[in-house]
């Protein structure tokens, strides 16, 4: 049996990596570029640093969009697209976490493919090749800089949907761990738990293969070792560097293997209640993994061994070791419960109905998930 492993991106990683930007822009012969970011990136001074590098390119016309919001909507994508079209940009630079990079990916689809963006929800529906996109991550979690996925909110249907297509993968990544230094502990822990979710869900996904599994398990090892350190001391640059590297390694894995039940719940929570993506994943992750363990005991034990958890030799018991460890991590990192994030038990029925509509469930190893199963997970995470 054969399998495919897609790798697309030209990656520059490490301290002062941003200095590669002018050369990339020149090699692509870009004359008009749009830079996409949010208020946090602006406040941290990162946008200014990137724009400094762009100013080194003679004659480059730069259009700035600095109004990206968390959980980008179809309306936001349309708004940015109209500006990009009017300015006739030839490429994009996206600076930020998942929201900025996901927004630029979606806008880039519309530059060469007819809208609306909602038409591309699903796998492999983008027809035309996209413009160059340079992703500059400022968080360590979503891996959006390296993946073929963009997650958007459909405000009409009240759901989060994903466009999955190799064509939307950023052309270049410039990853400088220094850009994650100013991330506050709450964002570091939430985005880091998102990264752990990617590693675990992609490892047990029914789309995984030996290459994706290698990436997922390496990512998990790194996150398990360094996440707590990065949260406790944001200036611990060894931890910051490893977290960023882990996200790229894991991103290669889950771009190919996809995700599962945790993300199905997280997308629904974000669509209805605006929960930040990482937080939404983190609060249900341990319970979903305990639920999944029943059908992939061997894989769960492999993951537990990878992070040196003590095992008893009893297979059923050992398959739950990782979910227990993840629960301990969420407590140590002060991840909020669903009730602490404003969710009410009376919301569970509606949420469960929508979780079951999530296409990402197709990749979850345990199939036949019922409404009662979803409500049971939500109750445990309450």
Sites of contact with Zn ion (CB under 5 A): 194
At which residue do the structure tokens 């460890």 appear? 325
Query: C-alpha dihedral over 36, 161, 192, 80, to 10 degrees?
Result: 10
By the 8 A CB rule, do 255 and 148 touch?
A: yes
Is the CB of 165 or the CB of 194 nearer to Zn ion? 194
Q: What tokens does 103 get?
A: 């927004």
Cα 159–Cα 165–Cα 166 angle in degrees, nearest 5: 150
Sequence-ordered list of residues with C-beta below 8 angstroms from that of 280, at least 6 positions apart, any chain = 265, 266, 267, 269, 270
- CA-to-CA distance for 305 and 303, rounded, in angstroms? 5
Question: Least distance in Å: CB of 376 to Zn ion?
Answer: 22
By the 8 A CB rule, do 7 and 252 touch?
A: yes
Is the CB of 65 or the CB of 254 nearer to Zn ion? 254
Q: Could you tell me how many residues make up the chain?
A: 382
Is the CB of 53 or the CB of 194 nearer to Zn ion? 194
> Over the Cα atoms of the chain, what is R_g?
20
In the complex, which residue's CB is closest to Zn ion? 194
Question: Least distance in Å: CB of 276 to Zn ion?
Answer: 11
DSSP bridge partners of 63: 34
Question: Least distance in Å: CB of 190 to Zn ion?
Answer: 10
Helix (H) or strand (E) holding 250: helix 237-257
Question: Least distance in Å: CB of 71 to Zn ion?
Answer: 12
Question: Least distance in Å: CB of 257 to Zn ion?
Answer: 13
Question: Least distance in Å: CB of 353 to Zn ion?
Answer: 22
Is the CB of 113 or the CB of 191 nearer to Zn ion? 191
Is the CB of 73 or the CB of 319 nearer to Zn ion? 73
- CA-to-CA distance for 36 and 99, rounded, in angstroms? 10
Is the CB of 91 or the CB of 192 nearer to Zn ion? 192
């Amino acid at each position: 049996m054969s399998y495919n492993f897609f790798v697309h991106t030209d990656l520059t990683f490490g301290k002062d990596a941003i200095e590669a930007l002018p050369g990339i822009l020149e090699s692509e012969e870009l004359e008009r570029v749009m830079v996409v970011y949010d208020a946090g990136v602006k406040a941290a001074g990162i946008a200014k640093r990137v724009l400094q590098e762009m100013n080194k390119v003679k004659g480059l016309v730069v259009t700035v969009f600095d109004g990206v919001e968390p959980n980008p909507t179809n309306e936001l994508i349309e708004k940015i697209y109209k500006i990009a079209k009017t300015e006739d940009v030839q490429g994009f630079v996206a600076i930020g976490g998942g929201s900025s990079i996901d927004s630029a990916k979606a806008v880039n689809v519309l530059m060469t493919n007819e809208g609306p963006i909602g038409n591309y929800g699903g796998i492999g529906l983008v027809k035309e090749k996209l413009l160059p996109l340079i992703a500059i991550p400022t968080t360590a979690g979503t891996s959006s800089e390296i993946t073929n996925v963009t997650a958007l909110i459909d405000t009409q249907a009240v759901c989060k949907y994903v466009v999955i297509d190799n064509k939307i993968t950023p052309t270049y990544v410039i990853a400088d761990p220094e850009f994650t230094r100013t991330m506050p502990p709450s964002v570091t822990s939430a985005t880091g738990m998102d990264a752990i979710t990617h590693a675990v869900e992609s490892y047990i996904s029914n789309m995984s293969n030996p290459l994706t599994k290698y990436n997922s398990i390496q990512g998990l090892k790194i996150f398990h070792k360094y996440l707590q350190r990065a949260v406790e001391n944001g200036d611990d640059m060894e931890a910051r560097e490893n977290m960023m590297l882990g996200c790229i390694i894991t991103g290669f894995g889950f771009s190919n293997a996809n995700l599962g039940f945790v993300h199905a719940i997280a997308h629904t929570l974000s669509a209805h209640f605006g929960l930040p993506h990482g937080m939404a994943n983190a609060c249900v992750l341990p319970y979903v993994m305990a639920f999944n363990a029943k059908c992939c005991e061997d894989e769960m034990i492999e993951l537990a061994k990878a992070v040196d958890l003590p095992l008893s030799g009893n297979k059923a018991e050992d398959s739950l070791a990782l979910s227990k460890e993840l629960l301990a991590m969420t407590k140590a990192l002060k991840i909020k419960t669903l009730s602490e994030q404003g969710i009410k038990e009376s919301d569970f029925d509606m949420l469960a109905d929508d979780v079951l509509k999530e296409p990402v469930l197709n990749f979850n190893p345990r199939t036949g998930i019922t409404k009662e199963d979803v409500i049971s997970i939500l109750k445990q995470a309450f």
